[in-house]
Amino acid sequence: MTLRLVRRAANAGYRGIFLTVDSVRFGFREADARNGWSALPEPHRLVNYDEEIANKPQSSETKKSSWLSPESSVDKTKIYAGDEDAWDQNTEQLFEQNPTWEDVRWLKREACHDLPLIIKGIMTAEDAIEAVKAGADGVMVSNHGGRGLDGALAAIDALPEVVAAVGDKVPILMDSGVRRGTDVLKALALGASSVGIGKPVFFALAVGGENAVVNLLQILQREMEAAMAICGVESVADAKRSLVTRHPNGGVTRYTRSKL
C-alpha cells in the first residue's frame, strides 16, 4: 500500500481504510503452481499499482514519502513474468516484508487522521493491544481465510481473547470461515461488532454476477434471523457469549451422548 493509493481512496469517498498486516508473505499456493497460475494473462494487470510498479527505485531519503514502509519500487517484469511457480509468490515482491507498528502510526498520521483505520489480520490479544496503541480505530480478527499459515488457529477461536483485551476500546471485526448465518451469530455472541465475508462473495459473483451476490446476502440474513429466533435472541444486542459452547470433547473425538 502506498500513501498515494490511500489518498486516492479518500478522495474517491471511501469512509475507512483496512490495513492487512498478516500478508507480508503469502502461504505457498500449491494448486496455483500445479495449474500454472503464476502470472496475469495479458492484458490484465494490477491497475491500482501501475504507478508504483513503474516508478524507478527511490533513495532512502524519499522512500517514506511514497510507500507505507521503506521499500524500493518493483520492476514490473518481476511481477508479470511469472518467474516464481505461483502468482502470490510473484506479487509478494510488491510488499514491504518488515513492517513495524511505527508504520501503522505513520499511516494514521499521514493519511488516516480523518478516516477510521482498521488493522486486519490480528490473532492475539498482544497484537490487538499494540494495534490500538499505534492508533488503530478498530481491529479485525482474521487468519486470512486460512490461506496463510497451515495449522493456524481459527479466527473465531482467537476472537474472545482479542475482545477481552481491547473490546472496550475499539470495534472488533472478524472474518475467515463465515459461511452461514449461524456463523455470524456465533461471532456476534463472542463479542464481534460485525463480520466480513470473502470467498462466498467471490463464488457468488463468479456463478451469477451481482444478482447472485445479492441473493447470497439475503440467504445469510434469513439464516441469521432464523438462528436468532431459534436461540431466543430478539436483537443482535441480546446475542451473548452464553449462546456459544465448545463440543463436549473439544471437537476432536466423536461426540458420545450422555446416558439417561
**Secondary element (H or E) of residue 172:** strand 172-174
Neighbour-count burial for 163-194, b at 16+ CB within 10 Å, e otherwise: bebbbeebebbbbbbbeebbbbbbbbbbbbbe
Cα–Cα separations (whole angstroms), residue 25 to 61, 93, 104, 144, 204? 25, 9, 18, 12, 27
Look at residue 89 and give its three-state secondary structure.
helix
In which region does residue 176 sit, left (phi positive, over 0), alpha (psi from -120 to 50) or beta (all else)? left
The answer to whether 121 and 21 are in contact (CB under 8 A) is: yes
Q: Which residue blocks in the chain are alpha helix, DSSP H?
A: 3-11, 30-34, 50-54, 63-66, 76-80, 87-91, 101-110, 125-133, 155-166, 181-189, 199-230
176 in Cβ contact with 144 (< 8 Å): yes
Q: Among this protein's residues, is 113 annotated catalytic?
A: no
Catalytic residue among 44, 113, 144, 247: 144
For the annotated catalytic residues, the residue numbers are 144
